[in-house]
Amino acid sequence: MCLAMPAQIVECLPDDMAKIDLGGVLKDVSVGLIDNVAVGDYVIVHVGYALSKIDPDEAKQTLALMASLGDSGAL
Is residue 30 within 8 Å of residue 11, measured between CB atoms?
A: no
Is residue 64 within 8 Å of residue 58, measured between CB atoms?
A: no
Look up the pTM and report it. 0.85
* Residue extents of the structural domains in the chain: 5-72
Tell me, which fold does domain 5-72 have in CATH?
A: SH3 type barrels. (2.30.30)
The per-residue pLDDT for 42 is 96
The per-residue pLDDT for 4 is 86
Short-list 73, 69, 14, 72, CA closest to 5: 69
Low-confidence ranges of the chain (pLDDT < 70): 1, 71-75
The per-residue pLDDT for 3 is 79
Q: Please report the beta strands in the chain, taking only residues with DSSP state E, as ranges in sequence order.
A: 5-13, 17-22, 25-30, 42-46, 49-54
